[in-house]
Amino acid sequence: MKIEKLDLPKPVKDFFKAEGYSELYPPQVDSIKAGLLDQKNLLISAPTASGKTLIATLAMINHLINNNGKVVYLSPLRALAAEKFSEFKKIEKIPLGRKIKVQISTGDFESMDKTLEQSDVIILTNEKMDSLIRHGAEWVNDIRLVIADEIHLVGDQDRGPTLEMILTKLKLLESKPQIIALSATITNADELSEWLDCTLVENDWRPVPLSEGVYNEGGVIMDDGKYFEVEPSLRGPSVDLGAESVRDGGQSLLFAETRMRSASLATKAADVISKYLKKSEQDELEKISKKILEKNEHTQLVKTLAELVKKGVAFHHAGLNQNCRETIETEFRKGTIKLLSSTPTLASGVNLPARRVVITSIVRYNSRIGANRPISILEYKQLCGRAGRPQYDDYGEAIIVGNANSSELIDHYINGEPEPIESKIADDKSLRIHVLSTIVINPGIKKDEIINFFSQTLGGLQSRKSTLKFGVDIALRYLMDEDFLIKKGERFVATEFGKKASRLYIDPLTATYFRTAIKNVSEGKKHTFGFLHLISESEEFFPKFSLRNKDYEAASLLIENKTIELIEPISEYDCSRSLLALDAWITESSEISLSDNLKIESGDMHRIIETADWLLYCLRELAKQLERVDLLDEFDIIRKRINYGIREELLELVKIKGIGRVRARKLFKYGIKNLDDLSAIPVKKLAEIDKIGSTLADNFKSQLRKGR
């Protein structure tokens, strides 16, 4: 089916033509035939790279032509949301007779983000959508199209219940929005389509054919029965398989089970991959390596990455900061980097295909049970989905490096069906959180109405009503006992504390934990370290790194020095490495120091800072609710110190835009300790200070004049 034949205005067809689209892929054709442009609800289950983004774009444009309502695109991850935003932003250029505004909002769950009301297409993470519903954003009632990406993640233990709740709420809106759910291939797609009242569109077509195989004892047996040997080396089979594909003109993506292994594999691959590089490629990679060093602190991790990039290889994991990750993703996408070794999180994030995907191990550490476990078939299929670069490759290959019987791995992973998606909404934590949010949104709701609502979730479809009722009863009892709810006759109403906890987007268990601590805090002294410990021990704090053997002495010494700041007595066994990192950060430890001493990398530190800031905001809001106004100033100070990574004495200097932690310390050492000192120093003298210069000196003086 050609796009030219679709019943769309000429400017829309011209737009698609300019974007390089002329003919529809089979899953896209099936979606059109199933009613995509007739505003029918659809669940589209198809492999990675089969054109689901174009399906979403067609649905969006069709709605913008025919309706005034809003379009919401839901993404499970911020990185994926950002990628889709840049894609959908192009829609603004199409002349549709009115100005179209595309916007993204992914952070700050307490913010209403009022500008969204003026937008036509809104890209949100699932959590942000849930938060907006809890806050009663009025424009939610104007939604006419919901596109839910990666719908199979509804079965995820941690994030699945949120997606399940928002889709249940959105499908019950009076406006009856069209729902387009996009998914990788799933076994019980019919069950999900029944839940969402969708027509199921299943198609296993891929633009690049995929073959799958298993490596064992020097050779690879493929799913079609073909066998080929791999020339062995001391680098190991995973690197040998990746290097072979690069030698033949492809790119390789190696999925490693840990960060350390991802860096190790890239290091082992570097020398062999560098032999396949042209002179022009080497020159380009040299520039990229320099760029990485110029834009980041020289931690050992960054120096290792920059050195490897020169040789056409890289690693990718959450320890790298956003800047490094984006550089690696961009250069791999361009084909400059030939071999990328990554942890599996990349498979569910940004779209980075390679000709050959190597699954270096089928075992992963499961933190819930504290042991290694084989990966699921569903995860394996997700990893495989990255094999084959459209427009570059005629085929894609996914190869498991096995240490077991090849035929067993082929039977289980390659020929096996992905596990059915199972709802996690009935778990204690999920019900505790979402029963409260349901009552906050619907004050005066009765118990049978709550049960009726939850019976319309996927969990309601998959479990017995008696099981669901029992779980709701337990959640209600807990929420009543802890003063989140009160009951008026047959109706439930959230207390002010319950409303605040729900809108802050924290587990009621965490809200209870924070409330107890706030009530126990004594007046008239600082509790900085105590508050850092409090948030770092909460369920929501992430990432949480355990102490290593060599950290216990440092933790013990820190507690001894900070005893006066504690809320209650603790020992080193109550601490995490993330707490030590937070304390080091606000006492101006560098990224190099954090990496060397605590093995906390800049990507980890960024997320620790972000989570700590949010949880301190939650603490502050609950303190206000509990009338502990004496604590508010200290929360404000700690949040600023965390955001800037500074001691308290630098707080005034960082009020000036352009003065961060490094420049503020330079100024302080020079004797400039506040804004009066900064005003008094002549601009010429200011410019002579290290890291300042004449341009910044003039800028600082200009800001001071405007502020006085």
Question: DSSP for 470-521?
Answer: HHHHHHHHHHHHTTSEEEETTEEEE-HHHHHHHHHT--HHHHHHHHHHHHHP
Tell me the average pLDDT across 179-196. 94
**Has residue 128 been placed in a domain?**
yes
**What six digits make up the tokens of 169?**
């709420």
Domain that holds residue 188: 3-202
**Has residue 598 been placed in a domain?**
yes
- Residue of 33, 35, 30, 29 lying closest to 1 (CA atoms): 29
409 shares its domain with 442: no
226 shares its domain with 91: no
Q: Is the pLDDT of residue 109 over 80?
A: no
Q: Is the pLDDT of residue 201 over 80?
A: yes
539 shares its domain with 635: yes
**Has residue 15 been placed in a domain?**
yes
CATH code of the domain in which 694 resides? 1.10.150.20
d(CA 90, CA 54): 12
Burial class (CB in 10 A: 0-12, 13-18, 19+), 522: exposed
DSSP structural state of residue 545: P
Q: For tokens 């004050």, what's the residue?
A: 443
347 shares its domain with 219: yes
Distance of CA 670 to the CA centre of its chain: 41
223 shares its domain with 196: no
CATH code of the domain in which 36 resides? 3.40.50.300
- Residue of 181, 230, 216 lying closest to 201 (CA atoms): 181
pLDDT in tens, 321-333: 999 999 999 999 9
Which of 414, 443, 465 terminates a domain? The answer is 414
Q: How many CB atoms lie within 10 A of CB 569?
A: 8
**Has residue 421 been placed in a domain?**
no
588 shares its domain with 684: no
617 shares its domain with 702: no
301 shares its domain with 342: yes
**What six digits make up the tokens of 615?**
């949880």
Q: How confident is the model at residue 318 (pLDDT cuts 50, 70, 90)?
A: very high
DSSP structural state of residue 417: P
Using alpha carbons only, what angle is made at residue 245 by residues 241 and 247, rounded to the nearest 5 degrees?
115
Which of 202, 221, 243 terminates a domain? The answer is 202
531 shares its domain with 393: no
Tell me the average pLDDT across 561-583. 97
**Has residue 497 been placed in a domain?**
no
Q: How many CB atoms lie within 10 A of CB 189?
A: 23
Which of 628, 645, 662 terminates a domain? The answer is 645
**Has residue 502 been placed in a domain?**
no
464 shares its domain with 595: no
Strands 219-222 and 210-216: antiparallel
pLDDT in tens, 363-387: 988 777 778 899 999 999 989 989 9
Q: How confident is the model at residue 112 (pLDDT cuts 50, 70, 90)?
A: low
pLDDT in tens, 76-88: 988 889 999 999 9
447 shares its domain with 380: no
**Has residue 629 been placed in a domain?**
yes
On whether the CB atoms of residues 105 and 113 are closer than 8 A, the answer is: yes
665 shares its domain with 639: no
Q: How many domains does the chain have?
A: 5
Using alpha carbons only, what angle is made at residue 138 by residues 136 and 142, rounded to the nearest 5 degrees?
130
**Has residue 188 been placed in a domain?**
yes
